[in-house]
Structures are given as C-alpha cells and as structure tokens.
Amino acid sequence: MESVDQEGLRRRYRDKVAIVTGAGSGIGRAIVEGLVVEGAYVVANDISRDRIESLESERVTVIAADVSEASAAGRLTAEALKMRGGRIDALFNNAGIGSAGPAVDIGAEEWRRVMAINIDAAFQLAASVGRVMIRRGGGAILNTASVAGTMGLPGRVPYVVSKHAVVGLTRALAVEWGVHGVRVNALCPGLTETAMSERLRREAPDYWAKREAVVPLRRAGTSAEQAAAALFLNSEEASYISGLIAEADGGAHALYSGYTVSRPQEGSGGVAASGVEREITPSAGL
C-alpha cells in the first residue's frame, strides 16, 4: 500500500501541461517518465525522433526538432496549447550539449552551436512559453544549467560560458516575471550518469574516479535523482521558490577546492578519520 506522501507526490502534476526539451535520453527522459507517473500532459521534444518515439502515448506528444531552429519555440508552445485548452503549467528547458578542448582551438562554428542550443534556444522557448504563462498569471520554468554554470572548468570554455548564461537568464527572468506569478529556477546537476557522461566514465576511468572523489556523497548522481529535483522545483510544492540556482551535486560545491573525500578509517584519528583529505590535484567538474 502506498503511503500518504506518495499519494501526494503523484498528484503534483495531475492534468497539468508541461514541455520537456532533450527528452530522449538521460535527465530529460527521466523528467518525462516522472511527469507521466504524476498525471501530466507532456510535449516531449528531442532532436532525435528515434530517441523519443517510445514515449508517445495518449498524454505524451513527441516533437522531433532541433531546439535551436527558429521555428522550434513556436511549434512546441503551439503543441502544448492544444493539449488542455490554452494552458502551459511547466517548462523544463533541459536540452543541452557539451564541448571539450582547449580554448585556443575552438572554432567559431563550435562556439555558435553550443550557444545556439544551450542558451539561445533556452531563452527563445522561455520567452514563447512565458507569454502564455504571463497571460494566465502563473507557471513555472526550470532551466537545466550545470555546476559549470557557477564555476570555471578547464577545457570546456563554450560549455561553461553557455551554462553561466543559463544561470543569468534564470535570475533575470525570475525577477522580471515574479510579479506575474511565474517562477523561474535553475537546476545545476553535478556528475550524473547519463549518455553524456557514460563515454567519459568508459574512456577515462581515472578521471571519473577523481571526479567522484570530490563528491561528499562519494558517487555520481542518477538521472532519476536529477528528475526528482526538477519535478519538485517546477511543482506547486515549490510555490515560494524562484530565482534559485539549485546545485544537485552530492555536496561537491560545498567542498573547499583541492580537498577530496574518502571513507573514514577506523582509529586513524584526525583529518583522515573525518573522511576528508587534502590533495594537490585540483578538483574538476562537468
């Protein structure tokens, strides 16, 4: 038998209308799955039709489109408006791509592509959906940033810049649209097991181990854990939370740079017994 809390959780999105971008994999897919369990109507978008096809159902409309195309924001908004007579309750601006390589080697095309998907498209869709929410006097928007939205990481300049812009967009819209009852927050995932990070784990296990060593919870997060945070922030349970830059990173942002975390050894006393050790290697993030 389900507990009272679980019953409550399952009602948060009943008959609400939501849009999720980048829904074919990882965090976006887990968000759609969570919304479906909670009774929402969903427009699920991804650039890859193959990845989203299986999500289609009576309550889920799938739209294969590149969010950075000029027509994408209008198309997703129009589809959502058809679902339940002109309302959109929640936008999950989740689609994003990574970038890697030395700053001096980044070409104009790569720079533009990362910005077009990670920040330009997020703004265009927020503006399009925001018009509907402002007219109705309410709604919630969650932008997926990253720990790279609040810190610098070497070898990822376009990604870091684009995610800092997502954090800026979140704060700017939250302060402009609060008077209309529209909340805007950002989720900053830390190391999370998804397609985006799987290659890293496989091809650079030492680097992955170092990344986990700077997470106080001592492990990467899962898509389901990121989705749980996302669903909370865009639900009415979070009705007084707006402009929040929420790090879901197992505590990594709270650890002073250069420290690593290990399991405490019994009887060894001092710093090691607390589970925290100083290392010379700088900590890194995604």
Ligand X SMILES: NC(=O)c1ccc[n+]([C@@H]2O[C@H](COP(=O)([O-])OP(=O)(O)OC[C@H]3O[C@@H](n4cnc5c(N)ncnc54)[C@H](O)[C@@H]3O)[C@@H](O)[C@H]2O)c1
CB of 141 to ligand X, least distance (A): 14
Q: Which is nearer to ligand X, 87 or 169 (CB)?
A: 169
Choice between 96 and 130, CB closer to ligand X: 96
Q: What does residue 87 show for φ and ψ, rounded to 5 degrees?
A: -120, 150
Is residue 240 annotated as part of the catalytic site, yes or no? no
Task: Name the 3-class secondary structure at 203.
Answer: helix
Cβ proximity of 35 and 20 under 8 Å: yes
For residues 78 to 117, the per-residue mask of contacts with ligand X, x marking binding by CB under 6 A and - elsewhere, is ----------------xxxx-------------------x
- Which of 159, 207, 240, 259 is flagged as catalytic? 159
Tell me which residue of 255, 247, 258, 248 sits closest to 282, measured CA to CA. 258
* 194 counts as binding ligand X under rule CB under 6 A: yes
Closest CA to 227 of 66, 2, 33, 14: 33
Looking at the chain, how many residues does it have? 286
- Our CB check for ligand X shows the closer of 9 and 147 to be 147
For the packed helices 108-115 and 157-177, what is the interaxial angle rounded to 10 degrees? 30
Identify which of 205, 209, 229, 228 has the alpha carbon closest to the alpha carbon of residue 218.
Answer: 209
Using rule CB under 6 A, residue 222 touches ligand X: no
DSSP string, 49-112: HHHHGGG-SSSEEEEE--TTSTTHHHHHHHHHHHHTTS---EEEE-------S-GGG--HHHHH
Size of the site for ligand X (CB under 6 A): 30
Instruction: Scan residues 129-168 and list those touching ligand X (CB under 6 A).
Output: 144, 146
Nearer to ligand X, 171 or 180 (CB): 171
The residue range among 24-32, 80-88, 103-111, 175-183 that interacts with ligand X, by the rule CB under 6 A, is 24-32
CB of 3 to ligand X, least distance (A): 29
The residues assigned a catalytic role are 159
Residues that bind ligand X (CB under 6 A): 21-22, 24-28, 45-48, 51, 66-68, 94-97, 117, 144, 146, 189, 191-192, 194-197, 286
